[in-house]
Amino acid sequence: MANEKQIVDALRKRGNKITPQRLLTIKVLMTLDQHHFSVEELFQAVKLQNTDVGMSTIYRTVQILEEMGFITKRNFDDGFARYELCERDEKHWHHHLICLKCGKVIEMQGDFLEALEKEIEEKKDFIIINHELKVYGYCSDCYAIMKGDKFD
């Protein structure tokens, strides 16, 4: 995962301005505790440090960082675009478990579809660049509420 300096250097090399507002946005983005943030959540976190930063600055910075491969957009079918910092040299991203009740997203590391991809590439003469796996169900907390007890 890139650090703040690498992102700023890449922006400069690309010809983007490094304004104080953009720099603050990048700093805040790098410190967000949650892995899947919305533009609104990033905006609120930046506003806590500088009330002069506008939403358009946040949107534009997110758009540029996505174009450059520093963050990736995720859709968890909840009506909101979410973003996360990413490894730029990974072939595949991690997978997600999504709770249908509370919307919690749990990350799953590891590429569980590697054998399937190899078979597809060999049998269908198709080169796979990436895939995304979303598994829907209930987190243990929601399931416990629904059933009256917890499961492991």
Question: Which segments are annotated as binding site?
Answer: 99, 102, 114, 131, 139, 142
Calpha distance 74→16 (Å, rounded):
24
Residues placed in the known binding site for Fe cation: 114, 131
Phi, psi values for residue 84, rounded to 5°: -150, 150
Query: Cα 25 from chain centroid?
Result: 16
Residues 6+ apart with CB under 8 A from 49: 24, 28
For strands 134-137 and 81-85, give the pairing. Answer: unpaired
Residues placed in the known binding site for Zn(2+): 99, 102, 139, 142
Calpha distance 124→96 (Å, rounded):
27
For residue 8, the 8-state DSSP code is H
